[in-house]
A and B are shown apart, each in its own frame.
Chain A
Amino acid sequence: MISAPDVVAFTKEDEYEEEPYNEPVLPEEYSVPLFPFSSQGANPWSKLSGAKFSRDFILISEFSEQVGPQPLLTIPNDTKVFGTFDLNYFSLRIMSVDYQASFVGHPPGSAYPKLNFVEDSKVVLGDSKEGAFAYVHHLTLYDLEARGFVRPFCMAYISADQHKIMQQFQELSAEFSKASEYLKTGNRKAFAVELEKKLKDLDYTRTVLHTETEIQKKANDKGFYSSQAIEKANELASVEKSIIEHQDLLKQIRSYPHRKLKGSDLCSGEMEHTQDQPDQAATASNSDECPDTDLYTCRPAYTPKLIKAKSTKCFDKKLKTLEELCDTDYFTKTLAQLSHIEHMFRGDLCYLLTSQIDRALLKQQHITNFLFEDFADVYDRVVEKQESILSKPVQDRLPCRSLEECPIPQVLISVGSYKSSVESVLIKMEQEFGGEDYKEVEVAELSSFDIQENLDYLDMDMKGSISSGESIEVLGTEKSSSVLSKSDSQASLMVPLSPQVIRSKAVSHRTISEDSIEVLSTCPSEALIPDDFKASYPSAINEESYADDSEEAIHFQASIDLTKMGEPEEGNLENTSSQADSCCIGKESDSLLVPLSTPVHTLSDEDGVVSIPPQRYRPKDQGFSMDFVVENANSSSRDNSSEGFPAYELDPSHLLASRDVSKTSLDNYSDTASYVSSVVSTSLDRTPSSAHPTGPSSERHKKRAGQNALKFIRQYPFAHPAIYSLLSGRTLVVLGEDEAIVRKLVTALSIFVPNYSHCAKPVKHWVSSPLHITDFQKWKLIGLQRVASPASVSTLHILSRYSRYTSILDLDNKTLRCPLYRGTLVPRLADHRTQIKRGSTYYLHVQSMLTQLCSKAFLYTFCHHLHLPAHSKEAEELAASRQARFLKLNLGLVNEDVKVVQYLAELLKLHYIRESPGTSQPMLRGESGTWTAVWAEAVETEAALPSPSAWRTGTCRKSLMHLHISVVGSPVHGG
């Protein structure tokens, strides 16, 4: 009944190698092998293995002594997630790995049953038939009524991606151990309570029996005992014995080895109690008084019951549920931890890996990383896993060396990622590969691992992790392969050497670089550009709202109904645009569109100009109208998503609904040649993978900020000076009447605001009271309410008064008052003609640009000779000229860009000098130098800029293009 060894994934190997691969231009680690299954109409992120579940989930199973292995619950608790996947069968699989060699009961030589505090065991299982791979975490809970007092459970992380399980083994293990610790702690607590109750019952029973015996004795003064009396006496004796046994058990459970609790503060509550009270509690429970001092007994008084003499194991009794076995608090914590795990490991492996590497690298930039990085979500996770993560990038950085030493460098990295603790019980694989060579490589690599890691590993208590029979594929257990490779019983680590890993690694390399995306998009030989686009997105995994995407789909399929869709403020414009929509949709399935649209893309890329106007004259140019519609649907849905539809984002069923939609559209996605189809189909993969450890909110926030920033850049001709103001530390005040719009823009622009420290960004989203000088000192980006009352006079007066420190962006009039900007840095950062279409992509783009900027600031700050005089007599002017030269020649900065780097350098200095964070106050900088107010004159702007409601529809895009020209050509007023 258990399937043959899992070779499915590896049989594809031949096919993969036969694939013609004649593009040696890129280094191998950046190259993207053609997707071997593309002929089957599948994208790389579709379900290869034929798994019956739609995405990863967590399963908790029990080996019930009554019915055998059974599934208890899944996380997320949604039947759609695991679909037709046979949970019962899989529970059997995972529970049948009988790791539990622990003995519970009466050990020889011991009068009483002994509780054995066993370690959890961690196993990786695979089932090719089901297409499921699982990290399985076995644990034992105590139950007074169970056989041997133990109930075996397991928690399994089930994924269709084997490599994910293998490579994230260490992380999974750490996270599941936490969950297990919660569960076991709660269980010990509950078990102790149970024992106390039982003791009281027994005590009561004894009293009853005792009185009965006394009564019988009195009744029977003839001097002989009736059989009844003897029976009673026996019963009494057994109760006495039972009491002693239970007291002993209670003592044992309370004297749970505390060393195991060390470091896990979650159990502190239990610790403080159990350390000083076990004896006292044990004795107290002897007496009839309820031991109220005991923290375990903080509950309503328990009325003891009489226990029948023969009440032991019978099969009709109902075993406790998992919830009953565990203290409620801890059970809730466990569930929270499990859903945290589910969130954490969502998404494609390559995304998980790149984000891990990303975080690790960021962490290393400890001098500059505070400037632009959002650290709230990094610290909690990285700190505890520092070693394991940091070990990766180190290897990652030495591709040359590893390229020489081994055939497939990426594999080594991935091995490193789950350290040496995955043992592979190899089945059949040796036949497929020449195992010996790989083994050597592995061993060599393993030997270079941290000693610390090995020590860590050795600390783990190894209970017998024996695979129970050939039928089960135990792909890995906790044993160290470095240890095992010495024993000849085990083969070497073969699993990660699959070509799949190589592919996914390569993809991950490709997708993090924004450039390569563009390369792909312009490559004329690629027939399926949208497909490739799509392929690149899932790595940028985030909640790139499926709500948006499904909205897009809806827009597309029912564009005629656009006006009914509840966007009254854009009604008119929608009407005009919906014509275009329907026009396109009519031709959506026209396969000719593909070759048409591709050259257009290429053209626009090369020219660096999106030439929109021709589109007007040639409305039937499908490539362009398609592009336009995409924009349209996109921008309208953005607004939808930000203003409503929270249900879409929260309800997983919607997620699945959108997935269904995408599946249907998947059939003809190659025909539509539009961005939308790829969006829809990628949503299939992306949506389940919020992937960031702290959950989707921050990710969604970033995405939305990116989207709105992109919108701002495209729509406001003065985006560059505004961003320059933020980067150079000049407070930008966003003035407007509508709070929602102001907040949205402030959020969008906040991605450009440098931080003072690791604390929150100096951004104030919405203020309605007049500003003070302290506000300008504290905040670098302020959303200010414009009120049509006399109060506004003072507000505006203050703004004008402090104009030396502020740039004022008037949202209602579309004006910006700020210094002139003539640098080259911001145009690269915020190109209004950018091909980036997605908020998250743009966010990443901004992050990478800002990181470059940070490194420049770092260089500038820490170059000794720039700031200190070469000798004591040197004039200050010389140092100043050196600085200027360095900024210009070495860092390539022009004009105002210099000030950006200088400001960042000051922040770096302040941050570095600061002894303890927070003592020094941020400086408010009023800048001297060239000051020119840039005015997008109201008259011009109003004529050229569409009304706010029009922005959302995207119809304004063309007019915006005109506007750019007109504004560029418009007079820039000197101040």
Chain B
Amino acid sequence: MAEENEFIFRGIRSSLLKKSPLQTIGEEQTQNPYTELLVLKAHHDIVRFLVRLDDCRFASAGDDGLVVIWNAQTGEKLLELNGHTQKITAITTIPSLEACEEKNQLILTASADRTVIISLNLEESEIAVLWNCDSGRQVQKISCFQSTVKCLTVLQRLDVWLSGGNDLCVWNRKLDLLCKTSHLSDTGISALIEIPKNCVVAAVGKELIIFRLVAPTEGSLEWDILEVKRLLDHQDNILSLANVNDLNFVTGSHVGELIIWNILDWTVQACERNFWDPSPQLDTQQEIKLCQKPNDISIHHFTWDEENVFAAVGRGLYVYNLQMKRVTACQKTAHDSVVLHVARLPDRQLISCSEDGSVRIWELREKPQLAAEPVPTGFFNMWGFGRVNKQASQPVKKQQENATSCLLELVGDLIGHSSSVEMFLYFEDHGLVTCSADHLIILWKNGERESGLRSLKLFQKLEENGDLHLAV
């Protein structure tokens, strides 16, 4: 918020009145339920990852190589796992096998120290065993990696997990390397998802590579992994990759290309392109130029529901309707800086967090009147930036006006972090957890609900103490 650098007490009002493209919300946020927050401190460096373990626990991991397990209700630190010497680059959990009686949830972490640690997510009583003996099945460390593992994926059906670095490796639960691909690229795999038919999609630079996993059969006892197809539709590095539903997966690139793929035959279903290259011949009917700088149109994260894909594009948020195959709502400058993570909440709400340190809650609403809507003008004001674009702007503008039938309205602004908010997790019952580059994790709580819970606890305790005398 550059304007606020000039903040003076007398001047605050005027600064707020300045024409700012960023939508702001006052302190009165009646629809924002998060009125209590709890600051959790354990990390000494940027906290990058949050992983949900169960209904009331989550793990955080950061550049300090620490993994900390927290109670989402009380904010209590349950465990601190330190095994990595460098920053953690990927974290995932391996759910316990259904057949297996013991509920051993494993946490898989990969680090820049080129190791992957698989650690048992233990109940407190077991910690001592684990960290005292520091051996055995409970903690295992693999360090035979040639490169940093950037992504981890668990294929639960096959009971294997994959690590993606410069190559793709397949492991089983016992940490045996089952098979691996050849060296793919120096930049390595940036994202990895599972798709049907024992396939995985890996994003390697601009390419999407489909691999097929061959499980051991009667014929061959060996695992194998085969490259099936390379998809070259993206113009720039692919930053995000996500499964949307049973039919589609979606990818987003650095220059704002959003492509919906058919999950079965790997064909392009729809494409929302934002070319940096201004060549007009590439303008297809669905192409939209969203922003002027490549950094401002890079697609960092997706979330989705049945109808829509919500994309974090640069500083903005876009709602792409899968049926209509077009953007139905957008908030071009949802944040001051790049949006890093988005997630959907119940009740058509959306949360986004950004490098500017803010976390915002949005609500998707039907637009009341298309004509009187001021949003598109704001949208196009910034839009006609380059001279060349002006030619293209007119037709797109018309289309855009028709397209944005919905509205993303800001309902809450969660201010707490002083630096980039990397990620967040939403718990139905406990609220929201955010992690940030300011080394902090903040637990945002619904004040009213918490108050009720405290009352409940209070009377429980009174009853335990035998102090509760109910009037007859």
Binding site for B on A (CB under 8 A): 735, 772-774, 777, 793, 796-804, 808, 810, 813, 815, 817, 819, 861-862, 864, 867-868, 876, 879, 902, 906, 909-910, 912-913, 920-921, 923-931, 938, 973, 975
Contacts and interface: CB of A to CB of B under 8 A. Distances in A.
Q: Of residues A774, A910, A913, A928, which shows the largest number of chain B Cβ atoms within 10 Å of its Cβ?
A: A928
A913 B9 contact: no
B451 interface: yes
Given A793-B5, A810-B9, A975-B28, A777 B456 contact: no
A815 B10 contact: yes
Interface string B28-45: 111011111111010000
B390 interface: no
A1 B51 CA distance: 92
B416 A773 contact: yes
B14 to A, nearest CB: 12
A928 B440 contact: no
B37 A802 contact: no
Contact of B7 (A800, A861, A938): A800
Interface in B415-446: 415-418, 438, 440, 442, 445
A931 B38 contact: no
B4 A921 contact: no
A928 B447 contact: yes
Interface residues of B, number: 49
A920 B28 contact: no
A168 to B, nearest CB: 35
A868 B458 CA distance: 11
A924 B38 contact: yes
A861 B30 contact: no
Q: For the complex, would chain B's binding face be called helix, strand, loop or mixed by DSSP majority? A: mixed
A808 B9 contact: yes
Contacts of B35: 925-928
Contacts of A808: 9
A921 B458 CA distance: 17
Nearest to B458: A909
Interface of B: 1, 4-5, 7-10, 12-13, 26-30, 32-39, 41, 74-75, 413, 415-418, 438, 440, 442, 445, 447, 450-452, 454-459, 461-462, 468, 470-471
17 contacts: A735-B9, A773-B416, A777-B39, A797-B4, A799-B7, A801-B4, A804-B413, A810-B9, A864-B459, A864-B470, A867-B459, A879-B452, A920-B74, A925-B447, A928-B30, A938-B9, A975-B27
Contact of B455 (A777, A802, A867): A867
B214 to A, nearest CB: 51
B296 to A, nearest CB: 23
B452 A913 contact: no
B100 to A, nearest CB: 34
A813 B10 CA distance: 9
Given A773-B440, A796-B8, A817-B9, A909 B416 contact: no
Nearest to A880: B448
A196 B458 CA distance: 64
B454 A801 contact: no
Nearest to B34: A926
Contacts of A803: 27
Contacts of A910: 454
Contacts of A920: 74
A772 B9 contact: no
A906 B442 contact: no
A927 B448 CA distance: 11
A868 B415 contact: no
Contacts of B442: 773
Contacts of B1: 797, 801
Nearest to B15: A800
B458 A861 contact: yes
Given A777-B38, A924-B38, A926-B37, 19 more contacts: A772-B438, A773-B37, A773-B442, A801-B1, A802-B416, A804-B413, A810-B9, A813-B9, A864-B459, A864-B468, A864-B470, A868-B456, A879-B452, A909-B455, A920-B74, A923-B36, A923-B38, A925-B35, A929-B30
B4 to A, nearest CB: 5
Nearest to A796: B7
Contacts of A815: 9-10
A547 to B, nearest CB: 37
Nearest to B12: A800
B266 to A, nearest CB: 46
Contacts of B13: 973
A910 B455 CA distance: 9
B458 A924 contact: no
Contacts of B447: 925, 927-928
A912 B458 contact: yes
A76 B257 CA distance: 87
A899 B216 CA distance: 66
A921 B38 contact: yes
Nearest to B25: A804
A278 B39 CA distance: 59
B365 to A, nearest CB: 20
A876 B451 CA distance: 12
Contacts of B32: 928
B30 A867 contact: no
Contacts of B9: 735, 796, 808, 810, 813, 815, 817, 938
